[in-house]
Structure 1
Amino acid sequence: MIFSKNALYWKISAALLILLVVLGMGYLFISSYIAQQYYQESIQRLHNGLAKTALKHVKPLIKGEIQEAVIKDYLHSTMVINPHAEIYLLDPKGKIRTHAAPKGKVKLKKVSLQPIQKFIETKGKIFIKGDDPRHPKAQKVFSVAPIIEDNKLTGYLYIILQSEEDVAVTSGLFGSYILKLGANLFFLTLIGALFFGLLSIWFLTRRLRNTIQTVQRFKEGDYKARISEKDRVDFPVLADTYNEMADTIVANINELKSVENLRRELIANVSHDLRTPLAIVQGYVETLLIKENSISKEERKKYLEISLSSLGKLAKLISQLFEYSKLEAKQIEPHKEPFFISELAQDVAAKYQIIAKEKSIAIHIEKNENLPLVFADVGLVERVIQNLMDNALNYTPRGGTIAIELGLVDNHVKIKIKDSGAGIPKNEQPHIFERYRRASRTGKKSKGAGLGLAIVKKILELHNTSIEVKSKINEGTAFIFQLPAYQTGGRWTADGGRLTLDG
Structure 2
Amino acid sequence: MKLTLTQRLSLVFAVLLLVCGGTSAWLQVRSSQMHELEVVQGLSRDLARHIAHDTVLMDSNGLMPGAVRELFSQLMLVNPSVEVYLLDTEGRIVGNAAPEGRMRRDNVDLAPIRQLLNGQPLPILGDDPRSVDGRKVFSAAPLQVNGKAAGYLYVVLLSEEHDRYAERGATSAALNTALLSIAVVALLCLIAGLTAFNLITRPLRRLTDTVSRFDIDGAPPPLPATSTPVDKSTDADEIAILDATFRHMQNRLGEQWRSLTRQDQERRELVANISHDLRTPLASLHGYLETLSLKDATLSPEDRRRYLGIALDQSRKVGGLAQSLLELVRLEHGFVQPVLERFSLIDLVQDIFQKFELSAEARQVELKAGFVPNLPTVWADLGLIERVLTNLVDNALRHTPQGGEIELDLKFQGSGVDVTVSDTGPGIAPELREGLFLRPFNIGGSRRDGGLGLRIVHRILQLHGRQIQLVDVTGRGATFHFSLPVDQQTAEQWLAQSMNRNHADK
TM-score normalised by the chain length of structure 1: 0.72
Deviations 1:239-268 (A, max 9, x none): 212222222222222222222221221122
The DSSP-based 3-state class of the residue aligned with 1:451 is helix
1:340 match: 344
1:466 match: 466
1:199 Cα deviation after fit: 5.9
- Mapping for residues 196-275 of structure 1, pairs under 5 Å: 198=194, 201-202=197-198, 204-219=200-215, 223-224=220-221, 235-275=239-279
Whole-Å Cα distance in 2 between the matches of residues 142 and 438 of structure 1?
Answer: 108
Matched residue type, 2:421: I
Matched residue type, 1:354: L
Deviations 1:107-139 (A, max 9, x none): 2257455785377xxxxxxxx21252679x997
The DSSP-based 3-state class of the residue aligned with 2:396 is helix
Whole-Å Cα distance in 2 between the matches of residues 315 and 105 of structure 1?
Answer: 118
1:315 match: 319
Answer yes or no: is the 8 Å Cα contact 2:125–2:135 preserved in 1.
Answer: yes
2:76 match: 79
Q: Which stretch of the first structure deviates more once superposed, 185-194 or 317-326?
A: 185-194
The number of equivalent residue pairs is 462
1:317 Cα deviation after fit: 0.5
Cα RMSD after superposing both structures: 4.9
Matched residue type, 2:472: K
Answer yes or no: is the 8 Å Cα contact 1:95–1:110 preserved in 2.
Answer: no
Which segments of 5 or more consecutive residues in structure 2 lack a partner in the other structure?
97-102, 145-149, 231-235, 490-506
Inter-CA distance 35–384: structure 2 relative to 1 (3 Å threshold): same
Whole-Å Cα distance in 1 between the matches of residues 270 and 453 of structure 2?
Answer: 13
Q: Which stretch of the first structure deviates more once superposed, 473-482 or 245-254?
A: 473-482
2:364 match: 360
The DSSP-based 3-state class of the residue aligned with 1:433 is coil
Answer yes or no: is the 8 Å Cα contact 2:220–2:257 preserved in 1.
Answer: no
Which segments of 5 or more consecutive residues in structure 1 lack a partner in the other structure?
120-127, 149-153, 488-503
The DSSP-based 3-state class of the residue aligned with 2:357 is helix
- Mapping for residues 28-427 of structure 1, pairs under 5 Å: 28-41=25-38, 43-44=40-41, 47=44, 50-51=47-48, 53-54=50-51, 57-58=54-55, 74-83=71-80, 85=82, 104-108=106-110, 111-113=113-115, 117=119, 128-130=122-124, 132=126, 140-143=136-139, 159-162=155-158, 198=194, 201-202=197-198, 204-219=200-215, 223-224=220-221, 235-289=239-293, 292=296, 295-409=299-413, 412-424=416-428
Instruction: Tell me which of 469, 478, 481 is aligned to 2:480.
Output: 478
Matched residue type, 1:25: G
Whole-Å Cα distance in 2 between the matches of residues 290 and 467 of structure 1?
Answer: 52
Whole-Å Cα distance in 2 between the matches of residues 159 and 100 of structure 1?
Answer: 12
1:12 match: 9
Deviations 1:35-87 (A, max 9, x none): 42244245346645634653673367999x99998666544433333456466
1:25 match: 22
Matched residue type, 2:267: R
Q: Which stretch of the first structure deviates more once superposed, 307-316 or 15-24?
A: 15-24
1:446 Cα deviation after fit: 1.1
1:330 Cα deviation after fit: 1.8
Answer yes or no: is the 8 Å Cα contact 1:425–1:472 preserved in 2.
Answer: no
Whole-Å Cα distance in 1 between the matches of residues 470 and 336 of structure 2?
Answer: 29
Inter-CA distance 162–399: structure 2 relative to 1 (3 Å threshold): farther
Q: Identity of counterpart residues, as a percentage?
A: 30
Matched residue type, 1:329: H
Whole-Å Cα distance in 1 between the matches of residues 254 and 112 of structure 2?
Answer: 86
Answer yes or no: is the 8 Å Cα contact 1:359–1:398 preserved in 2.
Answer: yes
1:492 match: none
Whole-Å Cα distance in 2 between the matches of residues 483 and 386 of structure 1?
Answer: 20
Q: Which stretch of the first structure deviates more once superposed, 24-33 or 273-282?
A: 24-33
Answer yes or no: is the 8 Å Cα contact 2:379–2:484 preserved in 1.
Answer: no
2:456 match: 455
Whole-Å Cα distance in 2 between the matches of residues 455 and 228 of structure 1?
Answer: 34
1:354 Cα deviation after fit: 1.9
Whole-Å Cα distance in 1 between the matches of residues 379 and 335 of structure 2?
Answer: 21
1:345 Cα deviation after fit: 2.0
1:15 Cα deviation after fit: 1.5
1:306 Cα deviation after fit: 2.7
1:458 Cα deviation after fit: 2.9
Answer yes or no: is the 8 Å Cα contact 1:107–1:134 preserved in 2.
Answer: no
Answer yes or no: is the 8 Å Cα contact 1:105–1:134 preserved in 2.
Answer: no
Deviations 1:188-240 (A, max 9, x none): 887786677556644554443333333233339583389999xx997321221
Whole-Å Cα distance in 2 between the matches of residues 110 and 206 of structure 1?
Answer: 60
The DSSP-based 3-state class of the residue aligned with 2:268 is helix
TM-score normalised by the chain length of structure 2: 0.71
1:20 Cα deviation after fit: 2.8
1:347 Cα deviation after fit: 0.8
- Mapping for residues 489-500 of structure 1, pairs under 5 Å: none
1:272 Cα deviation after fit: 1.5
Whole-Å Cα distance in 1 between the matches of residues 266 and 341 of structure 2?
Answer: 36
Inter-CA distance 69–372: structure 2 relative to 1 (3 Å threshold): farther
Answer yes or no: is the 8 Å Cα contact 2:420–2:479 preserved in 1.
Answer: no
1:334 Cα deviation after fit: 4.1
1:459 Cα deviation after fit: 2.7
Answer yes or no: is the 8 Å Cα contact 1:24–1:186 preserved in 2.
Answer: yes
